[in-house]
């Protein structure tokens, strides 16, 4: 194995680097190439690399800058929507859980007391017989007035939870 290089290798390398091979090569350089194995190998290897580079450059179709910018904007917008969607999802879960707990509470209340809706409605004071002492807080928690207070409170809570769910869904 010899480490010495051919004196004409620089000339062959320059012609190959500039892309002038074989048109600008002199007949003496072509004759030298037939005799010098080092220069012939250099030509073969450099031509193979140049061909591979040209093929790779031709195969790479870059998208237009406008399309790349549009895709970046779309990706940024989707990321922002995803970041904003997380608190909205939490609010929806909270509202759903409040509605669910209300429904479970009503079902448990009705299961323990029995379905006495009609009986309870008949026991309510009718017309002008409603007295102010009936609205006193201690009177509200007797068995006939408890549902009269609790039902509007729970219905208001359920309505507000539904409004929160609707508004959170509408923003998305």
Report which of 61, 66, 17, 64 is spatially closest to residue 43, judged by C-alpha positions: 17
For the segment 163-168, the average pLDDT, to the nearest whole number, is 76
Between 134 and 75, name the one with better pLDDT: 75
**pLDDT-wise least confident of 74-88, 106-120, 123-137:** 123-137
**pLDDT-wise least confident of 3-7, 13-17, 24-28, 104-108:** 3-7
Extract the tokens encoding 95: 């509202």
Q: Is 161 exposed, middle or buried (0-12, 13-18, 19+ CB in 10 A)?
A: buried
Between 63 and 144, name the one with better pLDDT: 63
In angstroms, the CA 163 to CA 157 distance is 10
Taking a C-beta distance cutoff of 8 angstroms, is the pair 57, 123 a contact?
A: no
Does position 121 have pLDDT exceeding 70, yes or no?
no
Does position 75 have pLDDT exceeding 90, yes or no?
yes
Share of the chain above pLDDT 90, in %: 6
**What is the model's pTM?**
0.35
For the segment 81-110, the average pLDDT, to the nearest whole number, is 80
């Amino acid at each position: 194995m010899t480490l010495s290089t051919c004196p004409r290798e620089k000339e062959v390398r320059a012609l190959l680097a500039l892309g002038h091979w074989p048109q600008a090569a002199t007949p003496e350089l072509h004759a030298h190439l037939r005799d010098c194995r080092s220069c012939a190998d250099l030509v073969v290897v450099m031509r193979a690399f140049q061909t591979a580079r040209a093929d790779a450059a031709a195969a790479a179709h870059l998208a237009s800058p406008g399309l790349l910018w549009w895709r970046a904007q779309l990706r940024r917008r989707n990321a922002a929507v995803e970041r904003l969607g997380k608190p909205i999802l939490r609010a929806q879960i909270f509202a759903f859980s409040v509605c669910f707990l209300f429904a479970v509470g009503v079902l448990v209340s009705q299961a323990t007391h029995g379905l006495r809706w009609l009986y309870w409605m008949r026991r309510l004071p009718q017309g002008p017989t409603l007295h102010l002492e009936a609205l006193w807080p201690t009177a509200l928690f007797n068995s006939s007035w408890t549902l009269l207070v609790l039902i509007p409170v729970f219905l208001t809570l359920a309505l507000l939870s539904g409004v929160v769910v609707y508004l959170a869904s509408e923003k998305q």
